[in-house]
Structure 1
Amino acid sequence: MSDPQFDVERATAGLVLALFLAASLLVGAMYYFVLRDMEERAGASNASQAVRVEHPSAGPPASASIPVSEHHA
Structure 2
Amino acid sequence: LRQTQVLRLIASGLTNPEIAGELGLSQRTVDRHVSDILTRLNVRTRAAATAFAVEHGLIGMGVSG
- The structure, 1 or 2, with the larger RCO (C-alpha pairs under 8 Å, 6+ apart) is 2
Output the TM-score relative to the length of structure 1.
0.24
Output the TM-score relative to the length of structure 2.
0.27
- Greater CA radius of gyration, 1 or 2? 1
